[in-house]
Amino acid sequence: MYFLMTNDVEHHSIPLNREDQSIPDQIFNEGLPRLLDVLSKYDISSTFYFTGMFAEQNPESMELVKDHGHEIGCHGYDHSPTRAFDILSLDEQILELEKAKSAIEPVAGKITSFRAPALRINNDTVLALEKTGFTTDSSVASQRFDGPMTFGSKKKLKWLTAPRKPYYMSYESPMHPGDSRLLEIPISAAILPLIGTTMRISPTITKILRKFLFYESSKTDKPVVFLFHPNECLDVNGEIEVTRRASGTLEYIFADVLRHKLKLRNLGDPSIKLLDEVLRSAKEYGFEFINAKEYEKNIDKMQQMTHCQ
C-alpha cells in the first residue's frame, strides 16, 4: 500500500484570499520548516509542486526541499484564475509549462511530475504535458464533488466518472483512460477530498474519510494521495479580507465568501498537529510513503514484469 504526501507551493494567501508577494518568504521562513519537520519525523519522501512564479521569487525554498530529499514537481507558472489550464489553448498551456520549467529546473533538475493550479485542466492538457516532457499528472480527484465551492466547478463534475485507480490518460478526455504516456495519479476522495482544507475544516469527517480510503487501498492497491499546502502552516497574523476573484454572484458567495471563511480554520500550528495525526495513522496502518516519481517507477516495473510473463 502506497501513500503519496503531496504539497502545492504557491503565492496564495489564505487570510487575504488572493496571491500575495510576501507569501514565498513566509513559507520559506515559517511554513516549510514546520512541514519538513513533520515529514522527517515519519521519514516521508513526498512531492512538492512549485509554481514557476514562486520558484523565481524564492529558489531557496526549492533548495531546502531538495536538500531534505523530496521530489520537486511543477504547479504551472501562474496560479491566478485568469491563467487556469482549463481556459487555455494547447499552445498557451505549452508556453506556461515551458516558462515554469525554465524557472524550476535550474535548481531542481529535470522535472516530470505535474499538478495543475486549482486542479483545472482541459482536453488539451494531456498533449501539452507530453510535449513538454512530463510523465505524471495529479490533477484529477476521482469522485470528488465540490458543487459551487470551487472555481471551474462545472467542468470538475467530470471527476465523478474518472477512474479511482491510477491510469494512463486519454487524449480525448483527461478523465478517461487512453493511449497517452501520461500517468494520472488521482487525488484521493469519496465525495469529499482528502486534502489539508478538509482536514482543517472538520477533523472528525477526515477521520471517517481516511478510514474508508485506507480500507479501500488495502483491498484494491489504490494509492492514497493527500494534498496539502505549506501556506496552511502559516499563522494568521494581521489582516483578513474577502478578495473577490469570481465574476459571477453565486460563485463569489460560495467560492470566495463561504469557502474563504471555512479555510481560515486551524491554520498554523493546529494544522501541523492535524497533519501529524493523519501521517501517524497512515504509518500505523502499514502504508509505504512514496513520491510521484517513485510511484511511476514502480508502475513501470510491474508492467515490465507482466510483459515478461
Report the CATH number that the domain containing residue 38 is assigned in CATH. Answer: 3.20.20.370
Q: Phi/psi at 195 (nearest 5 deg)?
A: -140, 165
Q: Which three cell numbers stand for residue 61?
A: 525554498
**Distance in angstroms (rounded) separating the CA atoms of residues 64 and 92:** 31
**Distance in angstroms (rounded) separating the CA atoms of residues 190 and 145:** 8
How many of the other CB atoms lie within 10 Å of CB of 130? 15
Q: Which domain holds residue 191?
A: 2-308
Going by C-alpha positions, the residue among 230, 250, 236 that lies closest to residue 39 is 230
What are the DSSP calls for 98-133, one per residue?
HHHHHHHHHHH-S--EE--GGG---TTHHHHHHHTT
Is residue 41 within 8 Å of 74, Cβ to Cβ? no
By CB atoms closer than 10 A (0-12, 13-18, 19+), residue 248 is exposed
How many of the other CB atoms lie within 10 Å of CB of 122? 20
Find the helix or strand (DSSP H, E) in which 213 lies. helix 203-220
Find the helix or strand (DSSP H, E) in which 6 lies. strand 2-9
How many CA atoms are closer than 13 Å to the CA of 287, on its beta-carbon side?
Answer: 33
Angle between helices 59-67 and 90-108 (to 10 degrees): 60
- What's the DSSP call for residue 278? H
Ordered per-residue pLDDT tens for the chain, 309 residues: 999 999 999 999 999 888 999 999 999 999 999 999 999 999 999 999 999 999 999 999 999 999 999 999 999 999 998 899 999 999 999 999 999 999 999 999 999 999 999 999 999 999 999 999 999 999 999 999 987 667 677 788 999 999 999 999 999 999 999 999 999 999 999 999 999 999 999 999 999 999 999 999 999 999 999 999 999 999 998 677 667 666 666 566 656 667 778 889 999 999 999 999 999 999 999 999 999 999 999 987 776 655 555
Number of domains in the chain: 1
The pLDDT value given to residue 17:
86
Chain centroid, CA 174 distance in Å:
16
The pLDDT value given to residue 153:
72
Beta bridge partners of 50: 9, 74
Q: Phi/psi at 194 (nearest 5 deg)?
A: -85, 85
